[in-house]
């Protein structure tokens, strides 16, 4: 294993220190317990958005703290849920009279710890559970995983909160966005968790894993290496079958890298995916391409589609200023 680290135990702390210093105009870093919070001025009564999860998915979630998105993010150790005390401390630090909305990816540890934190909070709070991974069936025993669609929920709901939507409106909007968002990913390689020191699963030079999550777990099916066009066909068909967009439907198309895939390849995936839906009469009205919900050093990508209405388009376009997502200024 080759990693540019001083040690497994110090990696997260040192990385967060560097992140906060590099973006000190946007965020602050609370050391004990760990959380990143927004520096920009917040209106009294604004709903505060708090998210988090295991580290290793950067820039999700810390890189999305700022104006128009998250007010705080709680990073756990790599692929490990943050603790309830982190979540409580973050929520109490940012709460400003409008309540707190937790945005939680559907993983057992995250769900449990955010529930515990919520039970101990004195301020009004609600939760949106993100479950956009269509590689799992809707009736899966633990539900579908939350993956790259989490960013879409955070951006749209963050804009609504910034514009003055109340807690129940933000929760309803987040659930609506989640219900019209679907993602699926493919891995060309595994990732290497520093504490493990080796790839989390074995994959041959001529193999891919279709339907992977973002924690180094295997996909739903191993396949022989196929062309980019065939990969996109597999991913897009699963998403299209789930969302069933009609002709003329506007969508947001997000191509996300897992950490070790060059942008040249990601834009190729976008080109092929855009063609796929264009041929079906679906309009790609908004787009996002890049590494946003990663899995350490995994090579691979995911495709996310959100069915858009005029309100969602307006909220997506609203100004945002975070370390890793910014426009409108």
pLDDT at 41 over 80: no
The 3-state secondary structure of 152-185, one letter per residue: HHHHHHHHHHHCCCCHHHHHHHHHHHHHCEEEEE
d(CA 288, CA 15): 25
Give the per-residue pLDDT at 1: 84
* Per-residue pLDDT tens over the stretch 129-142: 999 999 998 888 88
Determine whether 23 is an active site residue: no
pLDDT-derived band at 40 (thresholds 50, 70, 90) equals confident
CATH code 3.40.50.10440 region(s) in the chain: 16-179
Give the per-residue pLDDT at 139: 84
* Per-residue pLDDT tens over the stretch 64-94: 999 999 999 999 999 999 999 999 999 999 9
Q: How far is CA 138 from the centre of its chain?
A: 19
**Quick check: 268 and 186 in contact, CB under 8 A?**
no
CA distances from 194 to 11, 52, 212, 218 (A): 9, 20, 20, 18
Nearest Cα neighbor of 91 from 46, 137, 44, 123 is 123
pLDDT-derived band at 153 (thresholds 50, 70, 90) equals very high
pLDDT at 235 over 90: yes
H or E segment to which residue 267 belongs: helix 263-279
**Quick check: 48 and 94 in contact, CB under 8 A?**
yes
CATH code 3.30.1180.20 region(s) in the chain: 181-316
Give the per-residue pLDDT at 138: 85
Determine which one of 57, 61, 125, 234 is catalytic: 57
Determine which one of 34, 125, 215, 254 is catalytic: 215
* Per-residue pLDDT tens over the stretch 285-297: 999 999 999 999 9
Enter the DSSP assignment of 229.
H
Lowest-confidence pick of 19-28, 159-168, 212-221: 212-221
CA distances from 255 to 42, 167, 295 (A): 31, 30, 14
**How many CA atoms within 13 Å lie on the side-chain side of 201?**
19
CATH number of 16-179: 3.40.50.10440
Residue showing tokens 């917040």: 42
Superfamily (CATH H level) for 181-316: Dihydroxyacetone kinase; domain 2 (3.30.1180.20)
Determine whether 31 is an active site residue: no
Give the per-residue pLDDT at 67: 97
């Amino acid at each position: 294993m080759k990693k540019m680290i001083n040690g497994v135990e110090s990696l997260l702390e040192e990385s967060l220190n560097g992140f906060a210093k590099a973006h000190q105009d946007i965020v602050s870093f609370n050391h004990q317990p760990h959380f990143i919070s927004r520096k920009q001025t917040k209106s009294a009564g604004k709903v505060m958005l708090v998210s988090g999860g295991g580290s290793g998915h950067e820039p999700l979630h810390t890189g999305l703290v700022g104006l128009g998105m998250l007010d705080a993010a709680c990073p756990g150790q790599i692929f490990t849920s943050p603790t309830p005390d982190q979540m409580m401390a973050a929520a109490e630090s940012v709460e400003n009279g409008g309540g707190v909305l937790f945005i939680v990816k559907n993983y057992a540890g995250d769900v449990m710890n955010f529930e515990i934190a919520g039970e101990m909070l004195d301020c009004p709070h609600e939760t949106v559970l993100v479950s956009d991974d269509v590689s799992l069936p809707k009736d899966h025993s633990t539900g579908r995983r939350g993956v790259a669609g989490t960013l879409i929920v955070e951006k749209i709901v963050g804009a609504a909160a910034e514009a003055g939507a109340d807690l129940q409106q933000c929760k309803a909007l987040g659930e609506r966005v989640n219900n019209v968002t679907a993602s699926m990913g493919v891995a060309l390689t595994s990732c290497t968790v520093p504490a493990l020191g080796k790839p989390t699963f074995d994959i041959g030079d001529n193999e891919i894993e279709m339907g992977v999550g973002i924690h180094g777990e295997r996909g739903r099916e191993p396949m022989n290496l196929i062309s980019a066009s065939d990969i996109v066909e597999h991913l897009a068909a699963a998403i299209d079958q789930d969302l069933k967009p009609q002709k003329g439907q506007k969508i947001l198309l997000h191509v996300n890298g897992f950490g070790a895939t060059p942008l040249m390849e990601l834009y190729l995936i976008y080109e092929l995916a855009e063609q796929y839906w264009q041929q079906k009469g679906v309009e790609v009205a908004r787009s996002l391409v890049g590494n946003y919900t990663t899995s350490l050093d995994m090579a691979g990508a995911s495709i996310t589609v959100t069915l858009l209405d005029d309100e969602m388009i307006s909220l997506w376009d609203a100004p945002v200023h975070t370390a890793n997502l910014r426009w409108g200024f």
